[in-house]
Structure 1
Amino acid sequence: MTAQRPESLTEPLIPMPALTPEALRTAVASLTPSRVPAFVEDLVEATTNAQQTQSLAPLRTFVHTWGVFVAIQRRPSRAARLRHLEDVVSAGAEDPTDAIAEIRSIHAEAEAEAGL
């Protein structure tokens, strides 16, 4: 029999924010403050690339990347599982096939949650 987890462990820490740079920045600051500098750097790079190429594609990629990041990070158990799977793949000590498949599943779930 599987032990049931308390609701507080399965519920997201914050609601999924709107997919705007400001809402995502606020979410990143709340969930993983150490990642705010990377967020800002990516936003500046995406904005610069969008201006240079006269395309919204870099901004869409930025929103997609950080939207998925927030969707994963707002559920601590899912974020921890992803980190573990990434460590399994990086270590190279075992066949990574199952870990890669689960990583893809986590990302697909996060994309769906974010509405991407």
Structure 2
Amino acid sequence: MTATTASEQPLIPQPPTTVTALRKAVAQIAPAALPAFTRELDQAADQARSGSDLAPLRRFTEQWAVYVQIQRQPQLAARFRELEDSAESGGTEQARQAAVELGRILDTARAALKQGPR
């Protein structure tokens, strides 16, 4: 068994996958992302209204739940940002490797959300 340091602990518990709970979480852990959250929520709501379909809102909440799952873990969030930068500014091979690791992080976050709180 390994000891967990305070910096490895999530900043907040994973919130329920509701717009209100996710907005509150984003405000706490990544306030700079609130304008994107609001813009994307508006787009999803417009798409849902025009298509009479809730799928855009489900995609929105799922996407932002994954974002919160990653951002509430400071070390993981920092690594994610490093990989995004590497994918954008690196050479072809570096970008490919960064994309692979980004995919793994996203897959792990989605799997954690499916398992629910622990």
Offset of residue 45 of structure 1: 1.1
- Cα separation, partners in 2 of 1:51 and 1:34, compared to 1, 3 Å: same
What letter is aligned with 1:13? Answer: L
Counterpart of 1:111? 110
Offset of residue 70 of structure 1: 0.3
Offset of residue 57 of structure 1: 1.0
- Percent of aligned pairs with the same residue? 40
For 1:11, which of 9, 15, 32 is the aligned residue? Answer: 9
Counterpart of 1:92? 90
Unmatched runs of 5 consecutive residues or more in structure 2: none
Counterpart of 1:24? 22
Aligned residues: 113
User: Scaled by the length of structure 2, what TM-score is found?
Assistant: 0.88
Q: Which has the higher contact order (CA 8 A, sep 6+)?
A: 1
Q: Give SS of 1:115's match.
A: helix
Q: Give SS of 1:12's match.
A: coil
Offset of residue 94 of structure 1: 5.4
Counterpart of 1:53? 51
Asked if 1:81 is matched to 2:79, the reply is yes
Unmatched runs of 5 consecutive residues or more in structure 1: none
User: Scaled by the length of structure 1, what TM-score is found?
Assistant: 0.89
2: distance between equivalents of 1:5 and 1:42? Answer: 39
1: distance between equivalents of 2:29 and 2:47? Answer: 27
Q: Give SS of 1:49's match.
A: helix
What letter is aligned with 1:49? Answer: Q
For 1:39, which of 22, 37, 42 is the aligned residue? Answer: 37
